[in-house]
Structure 1
Amino acid sequence: MEIESKLHAVDWIILSVTLCSIVLYGTYVTRKNATVTDYIKGGNDSKWWTIGLSVMATQASAITFLSTPGQAFHSGMGFVQFYFGLPIAMIIICVVFIPIYHKLKVYTAYEFLEGRFDLKTRSLAAILFLIQRGLSAGITIFAPAIILSAVLGWDLFTLNIIIGFLVIIYTVSGGTKAVNVTQKQQMIIIFIGMIIAFYMIMSQLPADITFSKALDIAGASGKMKVLDFSFDLSNRYTVWTGILGGTFLMLSYFGTDQSQVQRYLSGKSVRESQLGLIFNGLLKVPMQFFILLIGVMVFVFYQFNPSPLNFNPGANEQVAKSKYVEEYQQLEAAHIAIENTKKLLFSNGFQEEEKQQILELNEQDLLLKVKSKAIIDKIDAENISDKVESNDKDYVFIHFILNNLPRGIIGLLLAVILSAAMSSTASELNALASTTAIDLYKRNVREDKSEVHYVKASKWFTLAWGMIAISVACIANLFDNLIQLVNIIGSIFYGNVLGIFLLAFFIKFVKGNAVFVAALITQVLIIGVFLLDWLPYLWLNLVGCALVMGIAIIIQFFISIKKKDAKNTAPV
């Protein structure tokens, strides 16, 4: 498979012009930021549609457009349940979080915690955010590097550095406003690109395969099961994990994660910020459903067209040069035979009684894929100098784009995915720098400097976090699935941080010392629960939140008793 030949001059032109225009525009329109308010809060003049698109673009990284179709291709539409808690979270944040943040005129979410508790609690929450978001920023750089690695044949290390510095340029220059103004353009490109991708997939299906028939084919293979009402804790995605665990994750992400809070802190008013989040809440679930549907349609496309046993071209190249090539070719032959059998069934218009046969064929094909990955893992273990990844979920959509779409459209869709990467990474670096500058540097190190000093410090911190994110990207791997990896990292920390904020908002008798100790204990416990794999990761958000609140209340209760006893025994 000669992937390099798929990218023509017109694709390069569309890709280059799109990305360079975004970088240059963002740098130019925000070049005069001189105060902390301008740099960190974007001058407090953002309209609701800017906030809504910026919030959406921050969450919709390249991982969304790489991993989500791959997730649907392998597992179907059930992943959409992950987002069921988002509208609920948006309403709670609009009613509780936004009015408090705007009333206090904070630069970061964590400023509020010092006034309510103390400096050490504020600093701890900020540090927990920096750890998880710093790791996630590296993954959002790594995701588009995969694309260009497949397109250009360049090594991931070089691409991580190039992509990282491309984002650093306008984020350092323009701060929050640069992120906001570029994200509007990026989301427009993303919407147009995904609609075109869906149209192109449907147009390349056989003439007699309508959208309705395509859904029937996907359903026969178990890809259209959207809702799962089971209480099976081994199942990551159910209605209950989405509504309960998802709500707590989204509350934490949109309510306490500075990369999102900073988007709506730039709002012109409380109303503009609230409308922006409501806009995001209404549009996000349908958008994710549509992206998953694209992945399912790619699956249908490959029921009528040849697909590789493994979608990672680098893995296939390594196998071709290895001693396992004959064994792998036998698996490929069996895979092709299964594909041909399914194609015949679908082309003839399968009957209801043939659905079981289709499911059995899918199981046989899945077993072949497992065996092929085992071979790739053997090669990887023996080949230390040139590592290869057996997981191919994140290569499914890019494989389809590069091998089945016409010139020009390929460049546009690559621009879509890279625009998403730039928007998300820029938001993360901007938030990491703001939190470091305001919550740690200004509050703990240099509290008496000028506005210009803190703007310069924020720029230097943006550069530093950009370098850290690039470093994380350089040591990352595909894990099980990139979009799951980002959410797992968040779930380990988010519940704890959310619990701290809920204590601050609603449990007034709990003080700083109790919260600080409870947060430390909770973080250790949650990491332990994750490592022991006791619960699906979405439940960590609910458990973490409940733990920190419960432990803090108990500790405060004993502190109060101790103080009362000390007061009663004190000499009169």
Structure 2
Amino acid sequence: MHNLPIFDLAIILIYLIGMVVVGIYFSRKNKSAEQFTKASGTIPGWAIGLSIYATFLSSNTFLGVPGKAYGSNWNAFVFSLSMPLAAWVASRFFVPFYRQTSEVSAYTHLEKRFGPWARTYAVVCFLLTQLARMGSIFFGIALSLQALTGYSMETVMLVTGICIIIYTVLGGMEAVIWTEVVQGVIKTLGAVLIIYLIVTDMPGGFAKIMEIGQSDNKLSLGSYAPDFTQATFWVVLLYGFFINLNNFGMDQNYVQRYHTARSAKEAAKSVWLCVGLYLPASLLFFIIGTCLYAYYDLHPELIQSIKNQVALERLPATASTADIAQMAASLQPADYGDKVMPHFMVTKIPAGLVGLIVSAILSAAMSTISSGMNASATVFSEDIFKRYINPDLNDKKGLLVLHLATVVFGLLGMGTGIAMIGVKSILDIWWELSGIFAAGMLGLFLLGIISRQSRNAEALTATILGVLVILWMTFSHLLPAELEQFRSPLHKNMIIVIGTLTIFLAGVILTRFRHKTPVTATIPPAYKKEKTLR
């Protein structure tokens, strides 16, 4: 780590060792599969809320959001504005639904409603979503630490990945939640520190930053025109609502936490605590992006090294100096936005503080990856291994399966991150992949709990139609020019919206057509009061 001073390196190592020690501490209690996946239902609601918040606030937020704000504007902040409505639906209907079923897997009830294929389909969609999430986060953290350490992105992913695997395997869900509580605090303080350092080094201070941001339209939330072919305010709002509905209602990362709470009321409160923390926290990262834009707008000479680096990455090794200079001159802010904050950290942040901020970035990555590994292992154990291989696992063998699955999914996440090296925007690639994989399972889930008369045949037919629509919207841009009229005209963020609605509405229509009777929409009732676990 030749670019980092010893003091910064020591801070980072202490943080990594601390996370492993937490896993070792909780391993003493981790003697059963229930403890590994549910923490025996003993976690207070405020800790669960901080844990969900930390999962939301991943390195995709820590690095991708400032890069997006630097390269464009605050349009992506509309995603955060959609969270309260999705949280209301989740706390009112989904949390009680899961608490009453007592199923640790979010997908078990789909088999009861529609058969084994529905459960398996949702599990596959979830696992693909998790690999995309973990891969984008591994890629994001490697992008920043490469600039700071000089080591390759693959090496960075391997070192951080091993630490995450160790404490997740040893500590289980309880270790994941309590480390995320700490990580949520660290990454928020890191964001505040970065803003402070930029503003204090900025001629004219925060007022100048806002002046430049307003003059260059960097504070815009996007166009309000009813245009669904571009990333307008309405497109991002719809995308945010549907993806957050999926997060709170279908994502095992969050559903699993509902079972760790002492009561349904505590679980519902944790959802609102997450929203209350994430909204202002995400705003901080958009402010960071605008601060960086204004800073480098006043110091354009400092950005040249970033442009040269991006040009070198895009050109073949045989490119001449003139080719590199020409490529660098043609680059737009959106082409190198993700690299600006790591560059500022390397060149402008004093020794000592770099270690603290790197620890914040590590915490942003580790919280979401560890959560994804634990959730993926739980789904594999409950929905694949117990369902198709060995349904009569005892606690000892069940815990072994969970441990092995955690390691495997951690390694697969690293591999996905390596495959993403070279993408232009972390946030864009994550949003696109999550929308594609989440659309199918969200539509099926809503059909299962709302349209009580829908059965296997309607659900299967609707899902096939939905998958075809999702595939068309995802790949139709590859059609040759002579078939341009068959390309999807909608923005890629609309995939989850259209895919979800296709499955749900097709299922409802088919049900009405087959039964010749109106479909009764039954939302799960509000939660019943539970006896608080002590």
Fold match (TM-score > 0.5): yes
Distance 1:58 1:478, change over 3 A: farther
The superposition leaves residues 265-293 of structure 1 with CA deviations (integer Å, 9 ceiling, x where unpaired) of 21111111111100111222221111111
Unaligned runs of 5+ in 1: 336-367, 374-389, 562-572
- 1:299 is matched with which residue? 293
The superposition leaves residues 496-543 of structure 1 with CA deviations (integer Å, 9 ceiling, x where unpaired) of 211111112110100123213322331232021122252222222221
- The amino acid of 2:242's aligned partner reads F
- The amino acid of 2:322's aligned partner reads E
Aligned residue for 1:224, secondary structure, equals coil
Could you tell me which of 345, 365, 368 is aligned with 1:424? 368
Once residues 175 and 222 of structure 2 are traced to their aligned partners in structure 1, the CA distance between those partners, rounded to angstroms, is: 39
- 1:551 is matched with which residue? 506
- Is the contact between residue 249 and residue 538 of structure 1 (CA under 8 Å) also seen in structure 2? no
Once residues 36 and 288 of structure 2 are traced to their aligned partners in structure 1, the CA distance between those partners, rounded to angstroms, is: 38
Once residues 198 and 264 of structure 2 are traced to their aligned partners in structure 1, the CA distance between those partners, rounded to angstroms, is: 42
- The amino acid of 1:543's aligned partner reads I
- Is the contact between residue 3 and residue 149 of structure 2 (CA under 8 Å) also seen in structure 1? no
- 2:61 is matched with which residue? 64
Once residues 307 and 352 of structure 2 are traced to their aligned partners in structure 1, the CA distance between those partners, rounded to angstroms, is: 23
- 1:225 is matched with which residue? 220
**Pair 1:542 & 2:484 matched:** no
1:294 Cα deviation from its structure 2 partner: 0.8
Aligned residue for 1:309, secondary structure, equals helix
1:468 Cα deviation from its structure 2 partner: 1.4
- 1:435 is matched with which residue? 379
The superposition leaves residues 44-75 of structure 1 with CA deviations (integer Å, 9 ceiling, x where unpaired) of 11112211111111122212111111111111
- Is the contact between residue 150 and residue 313 of structure 1 (CA under 8 Å) also seen in structure 2? no
Once residues 85 and 319 of structure 2 are traced to their aligned partners in structure 1, the CA distance between those partners, rounded to angstroms, is: 54
Once residues 296 and 395 of structure 2 are traced to their aligned partners in structure 1, the CA distance between those partners, rounded to angstroms, is: 57
Aligned residue for 2:239, secondary structure, equals helix
Distance 1:517 1:148, change over 3 A: same
- 1:459 is matched with which residue? 403
Distance 1:303 1:448, change over 3 A: same
- Is the contact between residue 36 and residue 173 of structure 2 (CA under 8 Å) also seen in structure 1? yes
- Is the contact between residue 312 and residue 395 of structure 1 (CA under 8 Å) also seen in structure 2? no
- 1:24 is matched with which residue? 21
* Deviation larger for 248-257 or 156-165: 156-165
Once residues 323 and 539 of structure 1 are traced to their aligned partners in structure 2, the CA distance between those partners, rounded to angstroms, is: 39
- The amino acid of 1:88's aligned partner reads L
- Is the contact between residue 82 and residue 237 of structure 1 (CA under 8 Å) also seen in structure 2? no
Once residues 324 and 451 of structure 1 are traced to their aligned partners in structure 2, the CA distance between those partners, rounded to angstroms, is: 62
Aligned residue for 1:447, secondary structure, equals coil
Could you tell me which of 300, 308, 322 is aligned with 2:303? 308
**Pair 1:172 & 2:188 matched:** no
**Pair 1:195 & 2:199 matched:** no
- The amino acid of 2:220's aligned partner reads K
- 2:521 is matched with which residue? none
- 1:119 is matched with which residue? 116
Mapping for residues 204-353 of structure 1, pairs under 5 Å:
204-206=201-203, 209-226=204-221, 228-238=223-233, 240-305=234-299, 306-309=301-304, 311=306, 314-315=309-310, 323-329=319-325
Mapping for residues 103-114 of structure 1, pairs under 5 Å:
103-114=100-111
1:15 Cα deviation from its structure 2 partner: 1.3
Once residues 393 and 233 of structure 1 are traced to their aligned partners in structure 2, the CA distance between those partners, rounded to angstroms, is: 25
- 2:443 is matched with which residue? 499
Structure-1-length-normalised TM-score: 0.83
* Deviation larger for 525-534 or 438-447: 525-534
* Deviation larger for 125-134 or 395-404: 125-134
- Is the contact between residue 42 and residue 261 of structure 2 (CA under 8 Å) also seen in structure 1? yes
Aligned residue for 2:424, secondary structure, equals coil
Once residues 33 and 323 of structure 1 are traced to their aligned partners in structure 2, the CA distance between those partners, rounded to angstroms, is: 55
- Is the contact between residue 37 and residue 172 of structure 2 (CA under 8 Å) also seen in structure 1? yes
Distance 1:108 1:154, change over 3 A: same
Once residues 33 and 18 of structure 1 are traced to their aligned partners in structure 2, the CA distance between those partners, rounded to angstroms, is: 23
- Is the contact between residue 7 and residue 151 of structure 1 (CA under 8 Å) also seen in structure 2? yes
**Pair 1:182 & 2:179 matched:** yes
Once residues 127 and 515 of structure 1 are traced to their aligned partners in structure 2, the CA distance between those partners, rounded to angstroms, is: 17
1:14 Cα deviation from its structure 2 partner: 1.3
Distance 1:121 1:23, change over 3 A: same
**What is the CA RMSD across the aligned residues, in angstroms?**
2.2
1:447 Cα deviation from its structure 2 partner: 0.8
1:297 Cα deviation from its structure 2 partner: 0.5
- 2:519 is matched with which residue? none
Once residues 357 and 174 of structure 2 are traced to their aligned partners in structure 1, the CA distance between those partners, rounded to angstroms, is: 26
Once residues 317 and 111 of structure 2 are traced to their aligned partners in structure 1, the CA distance between those partners, rounded to angstroms, is: 59
Aligned residue for 1:527, secondary structure, equals helix
- 2:359 is matched with which residue? 415
The superposition leaves residues 389-414 of structure 1 with CA deviations (integer Å, 9 ceiling, x where unpaired) of x9422211111111111111111111
Once residues 364 and 414 of structure 2 are traced to their aligned partners in structure 1, the CA distance between those partners, rounded to angstroms, is: 17
Once residues 391 and 221 of structure 1 are traced to their aligned partners in structure 2, the CA distance between those partners, rounded to angstroms, is: 17
- Is the contact between residue 45 and residue 266 of structure 1 (CA under 8 Å) also seen in structure 2? yes
1:174 Cα deviation from its structure 2 partner: 1.6
- Is the contact between residue 201 and residue 301 of structure 1 (CA under 8 Å) also seen in structure 2? yes
* Deviation larger for 228-237 or 421-430: 228-237
Specify the structure having the higher radius of gyration (Cα): 1
Distance 1:5 1:405, change over 3 A: farther
The superposition leaves residues 220-239 of structure 1 with CA deviations (integer Å, 9 ceiling, x where unpaired) of 1111213531222232141x
Unaligned runs of 5+ in 2: 478-487, 517-534
1:152 Cα deviation from its structure 2 partner: 2.1
- The amino acid of 1:178's aligned partner reads A
Aligned residue for 2:43, secondary structure, equals coil
Once residues 8 and 316 of structure 1 are traced to their aligned partners in structure 2, the CA distance between those partners, rounded to angstroms, is: 28
- Is the contact between residue 310 and residue 369 of structure 1 (CA under 8 Å) also seen in structure 2? no
- The amino acid of 1:538's aligned partner reads N
- The amino acid of 1:459's aligned partner reads H
Once residues 45 and 538 of structure 1 are traced to their aligned partners in structure 2, the CA distance between those partners, rounded to angstroms, is: 38
* Deviation larger for 133-142 or 194-203: 133-142
- Is the contact between residue 19 and residue 167 of structure 2 (CA under 8 Å) also seen in structure 1? no
Distance 1:195 1:448, change over 3 A: same
Sequence identity of aligned pairs in percent? 26
Distance 1:320 1:119, change over 3 A: closer
**Pair 1:525 & 2:469 matched:** yes
Distance 1:313 1:185, change over 3 A: farther
Could you tell me which of 70, 74, 77 is aligned with 2:74? 77
* Deviation larger for 413-422 or 296-305: 296-305
1:309 Cα deviation from its structure 2 partner: 3.4
Once residues 321 and 481 of structure 1 are traced to their aligned partners in structure 2, the CA distance between those partners, rounded to angstroms, is: 23
- Is the contact between residue 71 and residue 335 of structure 2 (CA under 8 Å) also seen in structure 1? no
Once residues 20 and 173 of structure 2 are traced to their aligned partners in structure 1, the CA distance between those partners, rounded to angstroms, is: 14
**Pair 1:369 & 2:363 matched:** no
Aligned residue for 1:303, secondary structure, equals helix
- Is the contact between residue 391 and residue 479 of structure 1 (CA under 8 Å) also seen in structure 2? no
Distance 1:246 1:316, change over 3 A: closer
Once residues 454 and 60 of structure 1 are traced to their aligned partners in structure 2, the CA distance between those partners, rounded to angstroms, is: 31
The superposition leaves residues 314-369 of structure 1 with CA deviations (integer Å, 9 ceiling, x where unpaired) of 4466779754313544777xx6xxxxxxxxxxxxxxxxxxxxxxxxxxxxxxxx32
- The amino acid of 2:409's aligned partner reads W
Structure-2-length-normalised TM-score: 0.89
1:159 Cα deviation from its structure 2 partner: 2.4
Aligned residue for 2:245, secondary structure, equals helix
